[in-house]
Structure 1
Amino acid sequence: MSWSWEYLPSEEHVVGGAPAGFLTAVEEKAAELVRAAEALFLDGTRYEGSGEPMRYLDVAGGLVAYYLVPRLELVVVCQATPPPA
């Protein structure tokens, strides 16, 4: 397997209607999180710990909620709140 990221439940639900600049920043940060997770969990499929907690990041003035699923080698972006207009 190889680490990846995805929106949950869907891209439309998480970032639908968000400004393009914010969307780009979220996707760049998600790709960065994938690279960090690959370095932290060299073989995530063998992970035996408890689930990872939800984490939050400031991205381009907005807020992104995400969590890691090491056994699936997956970064899940589940909420993105763009900055106020």
Structure 2
Amino acid sequence: MNDTQHERWVWEYDPDRENVVGGLPGAVVAQVEKIADDLVSLCNMGIDVTELGEGGPRGRPGGVRRMQLSPDGWVQVLPAPRLRMLAVVQVTPPFQHL
């Protein structure tokens, strides 16, 4: 077993925080970050998150996954198993925050 297999999963905004959640209310950002934290926790428990949420053709894991954010918003994440990283790439806030 090499050192990479012992590394824990992390998450980050891609390309950066300002481009993904800049200008959104703090409550929305907190919800986005909780989703990312929860997904990383699942990964660190050994659960494959590449099939969670919506995205890609049915039955094929991977690619950008869309997760529900509040009743009518979305957060899109890209799990990168080889890097042990989850990238938060886009947020569509709930309608009342647009």
1:41-81 Cα deviation digits (max 9, x unpaired): 6xxxxxxxxx8211101112311011111111001100001
Q: Which has the larger radius of gyration?
A: 2
Where do 5+ consecutive residues of structure 1 fail to align?
A: 42-50
User: Could you tell me the TM-score, scaled by structure 1's length?
Assistant: 0.82
Query: Which residue in 2 is equivalent to 1:48?
Result: none
Aligned-residue CA RMSD in angstroms? 1.5
Where do 5+ consecutive residues of structure 2 fail to align?
A: 1-6, 49-60
- State how many pairs are aligned: 76
Superposition misfits of 4+ residues, deviation over 3 angstroms: none
| Alignment match of 1:31 (pick from 5, 26, 37) | 37
| Alignment match of 2:66 (pick from 44, 52, 56) | 56
Letter in 2 for 1:40: I
Q: Say which structure is richer in helix.
A: 1
User: Could you tell me the TM-score, scaled by structure 2's length?
Assistant: 0.71
